[in-house]
Amino acid sequence: MIIVTGGAGFIGSVLVKRLNDEGIDDIVIVDHLGKSEKWKNLISLSFSEYIHKDDFFDWLEIEEPEIEAVFHLGACSSTTEEDADYLYNNNYEYTRELAVYCLERDIRYIYASSAATYGAGEYGYSDADELTGKLRPLNKYGFSKLLMDKWVLGNKLEDKICGLRFFNVYGPNEYHKGAMKSMVYKAFYQILETGSVKLFRSNSPEYADGEQMRDFIYVQDVVDVMLWLWEHEEVNGIYNIGTGKARSWKEMMQAVYKAMDKPEKIEYIEMPENLRNSYQNYTCADMDKLRKAGYEKPFTPLEDGVADYVRNYLAREFRNL
């Protein structure tokens, strides 16, 4: 049996689909559907059981299932969430408790961390263990993720479990994420409605408008890494999951326009006050650690990933509305 927490969510549902493609359907999905639209991500998936996240630990105690691996992707992923206690309980305590359960039973445990742990990047974007204690996240979400990474390293568990610092992931099945949808999704619908797309003006003299940079990674590449780590149980520790190449927001928008075969028109708007002090103008994953661990598959270029997402997913969704 494989457990996927957050299995109805963005990355989790893509992971479950890929497991299904490999002929695996003995999967328990743990999530909180609530009033969101992410239940739709489950329609085409094959799994043995769905369990609400608040009932999961009771279920484990009662059922005592034989589990091969736990992919813990469930968390509050909103970088603007203001309730620090909620983030602490949901993103740190829950993740830690599940880690302890897996460690006690020798279950493969892979959990989601975040590039938000790097803050403004004062110490770069290296996943070297010795730098973790220096990191200063810019928001409460990043802090909640960093707490778990520190717990792993502080208890010398980096050779027993695996944490993944996801950079800017985009791709199908993010439709339910509200304000946290990727800019590919947002731009697609903005362009359809108005012909133009809006980006934030720069808040730094070091970056021109639209030239703020991110390490954008296609969700299919993220899943490739997770499946590889599942197959290679000897590989543990905390790893960056990006491409190792930073691209600008403008370049991403140009890729969307090209995929839609429409003329480019980008407008720049003021950055909201609540984001100005916590906005990352540049991120780029140092991927040496994962490569040295043995992962060799190349990452999808931005233009190719955007084209696949726009043409094979977003365009089909729009036609079905």
Residue 207 tokens, joined: 């970056």
Nearest CA to 172 out of 41, 297, 55 is that of: 41
> pLDDT band at 191, cuts 50/70/90?
very high
Q: Is residue 15 located within the same domain as residue 164?
A: yes
Q: Is residue 79 located within the same domain as residue 119?
A: yes
Q: Is residue 224 located within the same domain as residue 264?
A: no
Exposed/middle/buried for 127, CB within 10 Å: 0-12, 13-18, 19+? Answer: buried
The parent domain of residue 141 ranges over 2-170+217-245+281-300
pLDDT digits (tens, 9 = 90+) for 141-173: 999 999 999 999 999 999 999 999 999 999 999
Find the angle CA(276)-CA(278)-CA(281) to the nearest 5 degrees. 80
Q: Is residue 159 located within the same domain as residue 261?
A: no
Residues 189, 171: Cα–Cα separation, whole Å: 14
Which CATH number does the domain housing residue 19 bear? 3.40.50.720
pLDDT at 110: 98
Q: Is residue 290 located within the same domain as residue 315?
A: no
Provide the phi-psi class of 124: left if phi over 0, else alpha when psi is between -120 and 50, else beta. left
Nearest CA to 88 out of 30, 146, 26, 172 is that of: 146
The residue-averaged pLDDT of 249-270 equals: 96
pLDDT at 321: 53
Residues β-bridged to residue 28: 3, 49
Total residue count of the chain as it appears in this document: 321
Mean pLDDT of the chain: 95
Q: Is residue 16 located within the same domain as residue 54?
A: yes
In the numeric block, the tokens 């980008």 are attached to: 266
> pLDDT band at 320, cuts 50/70/90?
low
Q: Count how many domains the chain has.
A: 2
pLDDT at 78: 82
DSSP 189-231: HHHHHHS-EEEEPPSSTTS-TT--EE-EEEHHHHHHHHHHHHH
Residue 258 tokens, joined: 């090209």
Q: Which residues are catalytic?
A: 141, 177
Q: Is residue 121 located within the same domain as residue 260?
A: no
| Sign of CA pseudo-dihedral 20, 162, 88, 140 | negative
Q: Is residue 251 located within the same domain as residue 207?
A: yes
With 60 as the cut, is the pLDDT of residue 9 above it? yes
Residues 190, 171: Cα–Cα separation, whole Å: 17
> pLDDT band at 77, cuts 50/70/90?
confident
pTM score, two decimals?
0.94
Q: Is residue 265 located within the same domain as residue 293?
A: no
> pLDDT band at 106, cuts 50/70/90?
very high
Q: Is residue 128 located within the same domain as residue 250?
A: no
pLDDT digits (tens, 9 = 90+) for 32-47: 999 889 999 999 999 9
Q: Is residue 190 located within the same domain as residue 165?
A: no
Which residue would you say has higher pLDDT here, 30 or 76? 30
Residues 38, 9: Cα–Cα separation, whole Å: 6
E strands present in 32-127: 49-52, 69-72, 108-114
pLDDT at 275: 77
Residues β-bridged to residue 200: 269
3-state secondary structure of 171: coil
Q: Is residue 272 located within the same domain as residue 132?
A: no
Please name the helix (run of DSSP H) or strand (run of DSSP E) that holds residue 318, with its range, or none: helix 315-320
Which CATH number does the domain housing residue 269 bear? 3.90.25.10
